Amino acid sequence: MPYYYYNSTGLLPVLLCALFALWASHNVNFTFKKYAKQFSSRGITGAQAAQRVLRANGVHGVRIERVGGSLTDHFDPKTNVIRLSESVYDATSTAAIGVACHEAGHAVQYAVGYAPIRLRAAIIPVTNFGTKIAWPLMLLGVLLSGMSYAFYNLVYVGIACFSLSLVFQLITLPVEFNASRRAMTAIREGNILTDEELVGARKTLTAAAMTYVAAVATSLVQLLRLIAIYGRRRRD
């Protein structure tokens, strides 16, 4: 594909991905706030719902704690703790229950040895290191190539390091979708929400999933653009 495409028209995919990411971020906040106003008729809190998911899957020894902030919910496999934000822990909304059960789904994934989440955890150190040195390596390769073109290979090492972020994002997709499926199954089978209330939980989790899809799209476009730009320079 021509070099000029990536330098001019090639900016369009980058801009579209940026807009997609902004929309996804806005949408998850909007959807959560919307269904935070739809309350469970059974009065179950987010923390209680998460505990039910754990018990239903035979998972024990996982603590559930409150954490500050908004949408800061996560499962920490190192301490075996589900941390729920203030807007989820004590809340009885369908949005809060969906988020809490999703995090419990991650705890279940670790308990049953779900392969993608184990793989994601294993590559976190390598991914973090690779993304930190990627841009310095590419810059160094370009600067030193004036002395010897052999140094330009550092650019490709940098691009390879940058690609680790895409690999991480790709592995994250099945992890997040699977956690949401586990959450919705547990909510439905455990009668945590009524069929009508399930809609709110499902839409909240779907909106959250779109942020991960946006991250994959953004990383992919950035990687392709880097390959096109620096590959063209080498041919020149």
Q: Is 86 a catalytic residue?
A: no
User: Per-residue pLDDT tens for 174-229?
Assistant: 999 999 999 999 999 999 999 999 999 999 999 999 999 999 999 999 999 888 88
pLDDT of residue 13: 85
What 3-state class would DSSP assign to 2?
coil
The residue from 103, 176, 189, 196 that is catalytic is 103
Average pLDDT, the chain: 91
pTM over 0.85: yes
User: If residue 124 lies in a helix (H) or strand (E), which one and from where to where?
Assistant: helix 115-144
- Rounded-to-10 torsion of CA 212, 214, 215, 217: 130
The whole-angstrom separation of Cα 138 and Cα 145 is 11
Residue 50 sits at the vertex; the CA angle it makes with 37 and 104, to the nearest 5 degrees, is: 115
pLDDT exceeds 70 at position 7: no
pLDDT of residue 70: 86
pLDDT of residue 232: 63
What are the domain boundaries of the chain? Answer: 3-235
User: Per-residue pLDDT tens for 117-173?
Assistant: 999 999 999 999 999 999 999 999 988 887 877 888 899 999 999 999 999 999 999
pLDDT exceeds 90 at position 27: yes
End-to-end CA distance of the chain: 14
pLDDT of residue 233: 60
* Chain centre distance of CA 234: 34
Average pLDDT over residues 7-19: 78
